[in-house]
Amino acid sequence: MNVSEFLQANAGAAQLHGPQDRIVLSSRVRLARNVRGFAFPGWAKKPERVKALEAIRPAVEKLAPLAGAFSSAMDDLTALDKQILVERHLISREHAAKSTGSGVVLNRAQTLCVMINEEDHLRMQSLLPGLQVRDAWQAIDKIDGDLEKQLDYAFAPDLGYLTACPTNLGTGIRVSAMLHLPALVLAEQVNQIIQAVNKLGLAVRGLYGEGTEALGNVFQVSNQMTLGETEADIVERINKVLNQIIEHEDNARASLMEKKPKMVLNHIGRAYGILANAHSISSKEAMNLLSLMKLGVDLDLFPSAERSLVDELFVLTQPAHLQRQFTEKLGAEERDLLRADMVRDRLRQVARPVTKPAEGGKGPAENGGAK
Amino acid sequence: MLCNLCKENEATVHLTQIVGDKMQKVDLCEACSKEKGVSDPTGFSLADLLLGLGASQEIEKAAADGVELKCPACGFTQSDFKKSGRFGCPECYQTFSDGLEALLKTMHKGTKHAGKVPAALRVVREAKDKLKTLQKKLDKAIAEEDYEAAAQLRDELKHAKEKGGQVSTS
């Protein structure tokens, strides 16, 4: 079974729901671990990496939560397979560039993913929809606890888990969440939020796009420091910050709709107009417009739209996801045409936006946080 | 202004990152910024980049003049660290321990691990902690001339030492 079949046969994170998933697309906790007696993957020669992979992979496959998992050596995956895993945020770009001596194990629900011989021998992560950083930490903590019985981890009492890069030393933990913040961007408040969050020792990055621009208004918040604090403290701090950001985004949405409803409706209406009628669209433009449409869905301006439709399109319009539906290699221009065809087709069932949120509908309950 | 990395070309990419109350700055030329993946924000951390620059000087400073340290386990050297900002193997943390604390201070909240400990080590550590507490209690009892309690504590301590010895040798 190749990656595409495995992913299609099993529900992806985009179709799943979680708490606060209007704003928090997903939560992730990643642990970095290494095994004593092997050089780190970046320094080890090929035979040593292969040996490490052979020692680690069976131990990972044996874990109960990974029963029936997809497991593969990186050199057995095609470039397209790897790219699809990257677009689903299941493996890193760095890992996609690996081949002999590296591997990946992914559970059926696509909530647990173990990269073997990325920068460290083990990069294991738990990925859950919505705001669930605590649950994600518990899930990966358990896997780590099971794995330490089979593998001799490199650990020093003073320095904690030893990692290839000293920036991950200690707990080896990276807690992160993907946030959709269109209203904070429209209200031009997002830079203030980013600065405030930076001051708390957390990093904020645009998830897609280059430099400082955040395509699709999607931001990733994560901890930077891994040494000198417990995992629980780091998880709690991020959880608190995320709740505050959610509150700010909710406030920004409510205040925009009260003070500048025409501006918001204009953006959303135009986004729908282009997405529903374009015959060529780049992934960059698609993402920015889909973000506005998602905001429209959140504001109940698209009563006929499935909530998950836009989230799915976010993933399906990415280059590798488009490419996999076609056997011949597509150029960027061909992809733009096919992307537009697919989006038009998916939006046929969605009526144009209403100009006022539906009264007494699903709105007030879902937007309970907005005041 | 020259690029911090290659020190040859004019720097055109200027990065600033503020974490907590620490501000870090890096100036790069076009080629180095591409090579370091600065244009790909998902895979880029300024801290990683800084490692290869100022921070590694801490490690360098700590080493003896002229003689380059080399990890006996994996052959990794200081200049390798300077290039990649990563170590070669777990043993390197021992090899390059001088100056490591200064380096860790620049990037972390503390320099001592406070989090999870593998269960096997936890047992050893807990046993050690228990011995320490018992010894303290015993000293206190003796100081207070509470010999009845002291006798009991001495037995407890003896018992714990025997058990602890088993754990650490097993």
Confidence of residue A362 (pLDDT cuts 50, 70, 90): very low
Residue A325: which pLDDT band, with cuts at 50, 70 and 90?
confident
Q: A252-266, A276-290, B6-20 — which is least confidently predicted?
A: B6-20
Note the pLDDT of residue B69.
84
Distance in Å, alpha carbon of A121 to nearest chain B alpha carbon: 10
Best to test chain A binding among B48, B57, B116, B124 (most A CBs inside 10 Å): B116
Token pair for residue A56? 């680690």
Query: Closest partner residue to B40 among A93, A169, A230, by Cβ?
Result: A93
Q: pLDDT grade, residue B168 (50/70/90)?
A: very low
Please give the mean pLDDT across all residues of chain B. Answer: 77
CB B83 within 8 A of CB B51: no
- Establish if A237 touches chain B: CB-CB under 8 angstroms: no
Contact B28/A at CB under 8 A: no
Q: Please, what's the largest Cα pairwise distance for chain A?
A: 65
Q: Tell me which H or E stretch contains A70.
A: strand A70-73
User: Which of B21, B74, B114 is opposite residue A43, by nearest beta carbon?
Assistant: B74
Q: Do A228 and B114 touch (CB under 8 A)?
A: yes
CA gap A117, B6 in Å, rounded: 29
Percent of chain A surpassing pLDDT 70: 92
pLDDT at A197 over 80: yes
In chain B, residues with a C-beta closer than 8 Å to the C-beta of A153 are: 118
Query: If pLDDT is split at 50, 70 and 90, which confidence band does A15 have?
Result: low
Contact A118/B at CB under 8 A:
no
Q: Which of A345, A282, A279 is nearest to A312 (CA)?
A: A345
Give the other-Cβ count within 10 Å of B24's Cβ.
18
User: From CA B51, how far away is CA B44, in angstroms rounded?
Assistant: 13
Q: Which of A367, A363, A355, A364 is nearest to A262 (CA)?
A: A355
B113/A157 CB distance under 8 A:
yes
Q: Which of A110-124, B57-71, B108-122 has the highest mean pLDDT?
A: A110-124
CA–CA dist A217, B88 (Å, integer): 38
Comparing A79-93, A194-208, B38-52, the range with the smallest average pLDDT is: B38-52
Structure tokens at B158: 């003896």
What residue type is assigned to position A343 of the chain? V
pLDDT in tens, B99-128: 888 889 888 999 999 999 998 888 777 788
The answer to whether the complex's ipTM is over 0.90 is no
Given a cut of 60, whether residue B170 has pLDDT beyond it is no
For residue A327, CA distances in Å to A323, A338, A340 come to 8, 13, 19
Q: List domains and CATH numbers for chain A.
A: 3-254 (3.30.590.10), 260-361 (no CATH)
Residue A160, exposed/middle/buried by CB under 10 A (0-12, 13-18, 19+)?
A: buried
Return the residue of A nearest to B48 by Cα.
A167
